[in-house]
């Protein structure tokens, strides 16, 4: 019998945050989704992971069923919000897995709150180089908020045909990539969600590419067991970002899913869940050392 997935609401600093949980034993695993997405993106893998882990999957503010206030949508604000969610529900330390934008949030979480981190998993992560699909670069342009309603209306009306073919023509992989992008753009029909999306995009991307780059601080991850996962057919962020990050993260592990796109956990959910379970089983949690070792690494600069 598959573990039961439960859905919750939390009032956090006056805003509603929704999250899902599953599993009653094992290490705590925090899943952070990407931009325009929600915790629904993990539907196929949560039951698999919850067999041996206690899984928490929030909707970031501005996404899914969580509130979409006018406010701060920077990586630092997201990291603090996720930390507060985990504190509120009673999880002090955890393994964090971030996909796409969620990878940037996960790295920021590790940097701001190293005492909370047991392991770090980056999946098709942002924040590791300049390259990113032109649709996201275009969304950072002035006036993009006036174009987005047309895109979202198109998805709501005809996600499977004309709009789908248009996205396939610009390199998006049929299957999970196209499904997730369609669901994400459809969510932007809501004005508040659209505003949150634009603020989020502009905090990390400009018309020339990604503007947040964690590579200069990746050496700090050497104290945290790290796994990097990518699809070799990722049209959003190239897999070489993961390969280059692996070289900069001492002791990290890199896994390339052949034939997979930007959502490898949806292309091959069973393989992904087995890989993650193996990684957690075969590594020891990082030490809860907030200042000592981190200070040494920063002063050494390597």
- pTM of the shown model: 0.91
Contacts 24+ apart (CB under 8 A), 113-116: 113/79, 113/83, 113/290, 114/220, 114/223, 114/224, 114/286, 114/289, 114/290, 114/294, 115/288, 115/289, 115/290, 116/83, 116/86, 116/92
Same domain for 62 and 122?
yes
pLDDT at res. 156 = 44
Among this protein's residues, is 234 annotated catalytic? Answer: yes
Same domain for 218 and 275?
yes
Same domain for 199 and 267?
no
Same domain for 193 and 277?
no
pLDDT at res. 149 = 58
Count the helix, strand and coil residues of the chain and give each as a percent rounded to the nearest 5: 45, 20, 35
pLDDT at res. 236 = 93
Q: Which residue shows structure tokens 């929030």?
A: 58
Among this protein's residues, is 115 annotated catalytic? Answer: no
- Report residue 18: phi and psi, to 5°: -100, 150
Domain stops at, among 206, 221, 241: 206
Contact between 109 and 83 under an 8 Å Cβ cutoff? The reply is yes
Same domain for 103 and 245?
yes
Contact between 248 and 218 under an 8 Å Cβ cutoff? The reply is yes
Q: How far apart are CA 300 and CA 302, in angstroms?
A: 6
Same domain for 101 and 242?
yes
Question: How many domains, the chain?
Answer: 2
- Reduce the DSSP state of residue 97 to 3 states and report it: strand
Cβ partners under 8 Å of residue 79, min gap 6: 105, 108, 109, 111, 112, 113
pLDDT at res. 155 = 47
User: Left, alpha or beta for 219 (phi > 0: left; psi -120 to 50: alpha)?
Assistant: alpha
Q: How far apart are CA 144 and CA 140, in angstroms?
A: 7
**Whole-number CA gyration radius for the chain:** 18
226: domain range? Answer: 5-132+212-300
pLDDT at res. 20 = 98
* Per-residue b or e along 106-145, where b marks 16 or more CB atoms closer than 10 Å to that residue's CB: bbbbbbebbebbbbbbbbbbbbbbeebbebbbebbeeebb
Domain stops at, among 206, 223, 257: 206
pLDDT at res. 159 = 46
Could you tell me the mean pLDDT of each successive run of 10 residues in the chain, 302 residues long? 89 96 96 95 96 97 95 95 97 97 96 94 97 86 66 48 53 70 76 89 93 90 93 95 96 96 96 98 85 65 64
CATH classification of the domain holding 93: 3.40.50.1820
* Active-site position among 52, 59, 234, 267: 234
Contact between 53 and 91 under an 8 Å Cβ cutoff? The reply is no
Contact between 234 and 97 under an 8 Å Cβ cutoff? The reply is no
Same domain for 18 and 79?
yes
Same domain for 232 and 118?
yes
Domain stops at, among 155, 189, 206: 206
The secondary structure element, H or E, covering residue 18 is strand 15-22
Contact between 213 and 104 under an 8 Å Cβ cutoff? The reply is no
* Active-site position among 20, 37, 38, 100: 100
Same domain for 285 and 142?
no
**CA 295, chain centre distance (Å):** 27
pLDDT at res. 190 = 80
Contact between 54 and 27 under an 8 Å Cβ cutoff? The reply is yes
**CA 149, chain centre distance (Å):** 24
Residues present in the chain in total: 302
Same domain for 91 and 9?
yes
Strands 28-32 and 15-22: unpaired
Same domain for 81 and 199?
no
Same domain for 186 and 170?
yes
Q: What angle do CA 157, 160, 161 make, to 5 degrees?
A: 90
Among this protein's residues, is 140 annotated catalytic? Answer: no
């Amino acid at each position: 019998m598959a573990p039961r997935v439960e859905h919750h609401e939390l009032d956090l600093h006056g805003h509603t945050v929704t999250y899902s949980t599953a599993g009653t034993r094992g290490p705590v695993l925090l899943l952070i989704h990407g931009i325009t997405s929600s915790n629904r993106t993990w539907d196929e893998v949560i039951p698999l992971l919850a067999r041996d882990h206690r899984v928490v999957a929030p909707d970031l503010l501005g996404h899914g069923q969580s509130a979409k206030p006018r406010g701060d949508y920077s990586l630092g604000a997201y990291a603090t919000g996720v930390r507060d969610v985990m504190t509120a529900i009673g999880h002090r330390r955890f393994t964090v897995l971030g996909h796409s934008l969620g990878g940037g949030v996960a790295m920021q979480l590790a940097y701001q709150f190293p005492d909370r981190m047991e392991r770090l998993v980056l999946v098709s992560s942002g924040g590791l180089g300049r390259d990113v699909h032109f649709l996201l670069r275009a969304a950072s342009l002035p006036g993009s908020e006036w174009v987005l309603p047309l895109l979202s209306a198109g998805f709501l009306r005809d996600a499977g045909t004309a709009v789908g073919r248009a996205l396939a023509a610009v390199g998006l992989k049929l299957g999970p990539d196209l499904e997730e992008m369609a669901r994400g753009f459809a969510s932007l029909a809501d004005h508040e969600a659209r505003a949150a999306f634009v603020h989020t995009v502009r905090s990390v991307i400009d018309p020339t590419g990604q503007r947040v780059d964690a590579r200069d601080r990746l050496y700090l991850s050497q104290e945290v067991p790290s796994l990097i996962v990518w699809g070799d057919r990722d049209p959003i962020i190239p897999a070489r970002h993961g390969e280059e990050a692996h070289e900069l993260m001492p002791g990290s592990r890199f896994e390339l899913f052949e034939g997979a796109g930007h959502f490898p956990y949806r292309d091959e959910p069973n393989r992904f869940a087995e890989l993650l379970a193996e990684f957690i089983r075969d590594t020891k949690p990082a030490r809860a050392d907030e200042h000592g070792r981190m200070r040494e690494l920063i002063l050494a600069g390597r």
